[in-house]
Chain A
Amino acid sequence: MRRELQTYLDGEMSLNELPAELREEAERWERLVGDMRELNAERAPTELEQLVLSSLPARRRQPAARRQPALRRAASWVARPRTIRISPLAGLAAAAAIALVLLLPRGEAPTPQARPESGAMIYVQFVLEAPSANTVAVAGDFNDWSPNMVLTDPEGDGIWTGRVALKPGVHQYMFVIDGTQWTTDPRADRYTDDGFGNRNAVLVIAQPTTRS
């Protein structure tokens, strides 16, 4: 690519200064980047704001929660209908376990008839402590076992988290560290043999309660 054309595209030369034989190529560049601009949305999807606000961590959003008794924290957690915290940080482990039990109808998986007509999804927060990991993803029967649901380590403290919307029901999953290391969730409530000598974590999501 000729240096004059690079200079023109850098905005440091006018079209008139550009050698005539390069002007047609310069115009093609303008058409290409014009198409690139038009192909993407100008505005964020309308649901993004709510998604962000509903996922802000509780340590800021609910600073008083630390002072609440564990049972009240569990009750408060259950009252939030769209978030289930699986394998939470150590301080919330007890609350999450209680909440999950309370959400399940006598510990059984929901029957097909019990599924919400609207196909409602439940937000599940996956958490894995992996201080030496460079990447962590979750793979399960809900994404065809593709490790493309990437968790993040927002605080750089080795606690990887990510929220995934799942249908109520029974799901199996594993974590994938650095793209290759398949790892069983050490804090799952249930496990099952995957038939290849490993254990899959089992996640049971009860249907959300509906208002009468």
Chain B
Amino acid sequence: MTAGASEQSDGTVVRAVLNGNEGAYAVLVRRYQDTLYRHAERMTGQPDEAMDIVQASFVKGYQSLETCRDAERVGAWFFRITANQCKDYLKNRRRKDVKLAEVDSLPSENDDPEESAQRGELKDRINEALDRLSPDEREAFVLKHIEGLSYHEMSDTLDASIPALKMRVHRARESLQELLEEYR
């Protein structure tokens, strides 16, 4: 009995792809797309941009898979690619683009219209506040508070020192004080 693709380790799947089983890449996509998409959406505040970034990240990963030094940790490798793409996007984004993209707070079918509108407004306010952070500060804040990573995990993921990451999170909190006032 052989293990199904979903039970195989990341390293096994990566080696399969590198050995010519290109279909195995779908296993990696299915394993990590949710994690990467969540991060990209929280970093950009834009579902469409998050889709594009995750798509580009997987394509980049596919093209350079042989450079992944630790195939068993390919998920962390994908995450770093996505995180860098998110920061590049934020650095290059112009305010005009932000305005054009602020049309994504669509209610779902089951939402109460009033509640949905309130959530849309809240989302806009949160995104506006997060947009004022630098890409590094936003990344650190998102990982620490929204994705719930420890500083050790963040340091491992981003290859940055813990004091530097703490500094970014502290600055982000200072910048978000105005938003916090709404929670009185």
Is the A/B pair a real complex? yes
- State the Cβ distance, A209 to closest chain B Cβ, in Å: 26
Complex contacts, A41 vs chain B, CB 8 Å: 37-38, 41, 47
- B residues near A (Cβ < 8 Å) are 20, 22, 25-26, 29-30, 33-34, 36-38, 41-42, 47, 51-52, 54-56, 58-60, 62-64, 85, 89, 92, 94, 96-97, 100-101, 119, 122-123, 126, 145-146, 150-151, 166, 169-170, 173-174, 176-177, 179-180, 183-184
Q: Which residue of B lies closest to A54 (CB)?
A: B55
B60 A152 Cβ-Cβ under 8 A: yes
CB<8 Å pairs between A and B, sample of 8:
A29-B173, A32-B179, A32-B180, A39-B119, A39-B123, A40-B38, A45-B47, A56-B58
Complex contacts, B150 vs chain A, CB 8 Å: 11
CA distance A155 to B177 in the complex (A): 40
CA distance A36 to B26 in the complex (A): 30
Complex contacts, B25 vs chain A, CB 8 Å: 53, 56
Contact flags (1/0) for A176-191 with B, using CB distance below 8 Å? 0001000000000000
CA distance A48 to B37 in the complex (A): 9
- State the Cβ distance, A31 to closest chain B Cβ, in Å: 5
In the complex, A135 has a CB within 8 A of chain B:
yes
| Secondary structure call for the B interface | helix
Count, chain A residues at interface, CB 8 A: 41
Complex contacts, B54 vs chain A, CB 8 Å: 44, 48, 52
